[in-house]
Amino acid sequence: MGTLYVVPTPVGNLEDITARALRILREADLVLAEDTRTSGNLLRHFDIQRPMLSFHKFNEHQVVTSLVRRLQGGEQMALVSDAGTPGISDPGFLLVREAIRGGVEVITLPGATAFVPALVSSGLPCDKFCFEGFLPQKKGRQTRLEELKNEPRTLIFYESPHRVVKALEQMAEVFGPERPVSVTREISKVHEESIRGTMEEVLAHFRDEEPRGEFVIVVGGCPEPFREDAPANSAKASQSVEPRLSKYQRKQLEKENNL
């Protein structure tokens, strides 16, 4: 029985690849690549020469059965995408699922992915978060955002440059113009940058500056008092803090005067 290795590759800077990932790629009987041209350049850069086979969303259903059989026959395979970790908004899930069903060991290496550095550097809570990946390109975008309107966890989206302004416009409409957001582009590349602020502020920036590169949008979760499904007394409790504080201060003043 062989092993399927899921191997993350750099999302930008080639120095982000791990020594273990390079070893697995050198030892694999076959490298499964989303695009053999892109992965071929990566392998040549590190002087790795291994057989490659295309594995992408357009052919995965046709080739997955034969690949599992080869794994069951003892071959060692490394699955890579163009950038990042296979299976995260890239092909990989189907092969992993079928390999497991076929009794094949699946080992995923830790490594590069775009949303983790974007989340951590956003300045928004990262102890709990919801990764959404790409929104539907056409039908269903608004519906999905409405479903996420009251989500208290930090939200993470991927977006392409020609849709990022439209995405921010829709988010501002659904989440509100004051919702905090961090938009990071070109992770680990020369022109990496993060634009942080309210939805309104960040949207204004990208209306003035043409979006370039691949984007990660990190949105602050819905505050408890503003959630539509929050308990009825949540807003009341938040509004009553000021009067209760004043009452406390008056009592303290009266106590001091009595002394």
What is the predicted pLDDT for the residue at 224? 76
CATH fold for the domain made of 3-108: Cobalt-precorrin-4 Transmethylase; domain 1 (3.40.1010)
Rounded CA gap, 213 and 17, in Å? 21
112-158 pLDDT, tens digit per residue, is 999 999 999 999 999 999 999 999 988 899 999 999 999 999 999 99
pLDDT band at 230 (very low <50, low <70, confident <90, very high): low
Look at residue 211 and give its three-state secondary structure: coil
Report the phi/psi class of residue 79: left, alpha or beta, with left for phi > 0 and alpha for psi in -120 to 50.
Answer: beta
Does the domain formed by 115-226 have CATH 2.60.40.420?
no
pLDDT computed for residue 242 by the predictor: 40
pLDDT given at position 64: 98
Give pLDDT tens digits for 30-74: 999 999 999 999 999 999 999 999 999 999 999 999 999 999 999
Locate the domains of the chain by residue range: 3-108, 115-226
